Amino acid sequence: MPLAEAFQPATTHADLGEEFYDVVAPARFPQHVLRWRNRRWDRRVGLDTLTDAEWIEHFGKFEPLPGSFPAPLALRYHGHQFRSYNPDLGDGRGFLFAQMRDLRDGRLLDLGTKGSGRTPYHRGADGRLTLKGGVREVLATEMLEALGVYTSKSFSLIETGEALQRQDEPSPTRASVLVRLSHSHIRIGTFQRFAYFKQHDQVARLVRHCCAHYIHEAQRQDEGEQVIAFYEAVVRRVARLGAQWMAAGFVHGVLNTDNINITGESFDYGPWRWAPSYKPDFTAAYFDYGGLYALARQPEALLWNLARLGGCLLPISEEERLQAALEPFEAELHATFTRQVLWRLGLASAGEEADAATVRALYQFLLDSQAPLDRVFFDWRGGDAERARRSPIADLYAGAGFAQVKDAFAAHRPAEDARLDHPYFARPEPCSMLIDEVEALWAPIAERDDWSLFQAKIAAVAEMADALGSATLPP
């Protein structure tokens, strides 16, 4: 079946030239079983007319999409990993497979892979992705999108029939290849690579490319002004992402500079976790011994990474102006966090001062009580005290510790889009994505290829997304 006439392929990244990537060949897999196909986004890019067999040809065997790259591109970058600089990075088990336009808003989109085979940057690894890792990424992106976080989308997941050896899970384990849909795969680490080699002309070229194709609001006639506008735009975007993670109770786990892109879009999910309660020191990665990327330290980590980007721009800009461009980070973070918390609660703004007071009171209660995060947001959607009285943790709301929160909620009306009559809010409990739930739905897949719990969780997330109205949020 031919692609939809609306499909708009692109090859924009290739215009940067071979200094920015390596042309590579995909792995050949013994088997291809389609496990996930993103039906929301395949329509949005004009790939919904593909049959499942044709889908596998493109996203399991990597037959080029008409009009896009004739061969995949492994992107070059460096990065700080847990604040230690690593010049040996790059796409080691993935590549940029294709680019296209979003049919709704015309923005440029990337299709990047994970587990698609070795590249020049594989560093001795096998270039593969476990099926469990692929399932976890689908779950993370679906849940984050439902909670209003600007995230990459899991576009395709295909099981590949290989048996992999891994130290951190029972082996041999099943293999997969994931295709990720994102608005950009240009990272802070992309800039770091050229700064490391003192190729400042390429840093400047990369800024121009990003402004032309991804950050249009930063375009300026004067290149010096454009660098500052670009940096300030990235700072604001990344600050908003950090605030969205915090409001969602999400811990990414590996906030290295190669995992932060210039569009401020969450991507590349490894040891992620949702915090069961508000514990500022809650970590996701078992190897994060010092809590560098703990829940409440994520904004600090993002700011540190943005300062590294500023260092890359220093040879083509002015230190004082770059420092000034970094300063809005904190204000943007706090403003977005407040808006996002009220959005999740389904409460209308009562003014800047009242909004901030409500969020402070709520998080003080969450810290002191260690009440389940998802439960509290669910119980108090729209400030509905009646639903809260029926909650299993109603006693916590009746205590003195919640009195200030209740008073703060009284200052707000339900938001016009709170959707309080949605069937989701009549459920006995909220949809959540805690690690025990993830392990519980993986077990029947591993043991007997039973995907029913996975499918039920995806359906529950979709129902929550509809109730919250997250599908109507700007991407």
Please name the residues in contact with 322: beta carbons below 8 A apart, sequence gap of 6 or more: 228, 231, 310, 313, 314
Residue 249 token pair: 């109770």
Which residue spans within 14-102 are E strands per DSSP?
21-23, 33-37, 73-75, 79-81, 84-86, 96-101
Rounded to the nearest 10 degrees, how much is the dihedral formed by the CA atoms of 335, 340, 341, 345?
Answer: 140
The C-alpha atoms of residue 382 and residue 469 are separated, in whole angstroms, by 13
The C-alpha atoms of residue 95 and residue 317 are separated, in whole angstroms, by 31
Sign of CA dihedral 293, 298, 301, 302: positive
Please name the residues in contact with 49: beta carbons below 8 A apart, sequence gap of 6 or more: 1, 2, 3, 4
Q: 3-class DSSP state for residue 203? A: helix
Amino acid at the residue 388: A
Backbone φ and ψ of 296, nearest 5°: -80, -5
If you ran DSSP here, which 8-state letter would residue 425 be given? G
Residue 404 token pair: 């200030």
**Which one of 258, 268, 288, 379 is the catalytic residue?**
258
Amino acid at the residue 48: D
Show the 3-state SS of 245-314. HHHHCEECCCCCHHHCECCCCECCCCCCEECCCCCCCCCCCCCCCCCCCCHHHHHHHHHHHHHHHHHHHH
* Cα distances (angstroms) measured from residue 84 to each of 197, 247, 258: 17, 29, 12
Question: Does the annotation mark 48 as catalytic?
Answer: no
Catalytic residues: 258
